[in-house]
Amino acid sequence: MSCVRAEDVLPEELIRAIQRYVSGRSVYIPCKTKKRRDGARTDEAGDT
């Protein structure tokens, strides 16, 4: 996982909105897509 500066990737108004909840701290934003955990079954959706 790499870190990026919020100012480089987020609009100013979104940064200000986030700062209302947390300021001066790191915030983790998870990936939009879910990754399978190691050892997860490949047929979880019922595909065999």
Percent of the chain with pLDDT over 90: 50
pLDDT at 22: 94
* Residue 6: other Cβ atoms inside 10 A: 15
Q: Model pTM greater than 0.75?
A: no
Rounded CA-CA distance 32/15 in Å is 19
Q: What is the pLDDT of residues 3-48, one digit of tens each?
A: 999 999 999 999 999 999 999 999 998 988 876 666 666 666 655 5
pLDDT at 2: 85
Residue 32 in 3-state DSSP? coil
Rounded CA-CA distance 29/39 in Å is 24
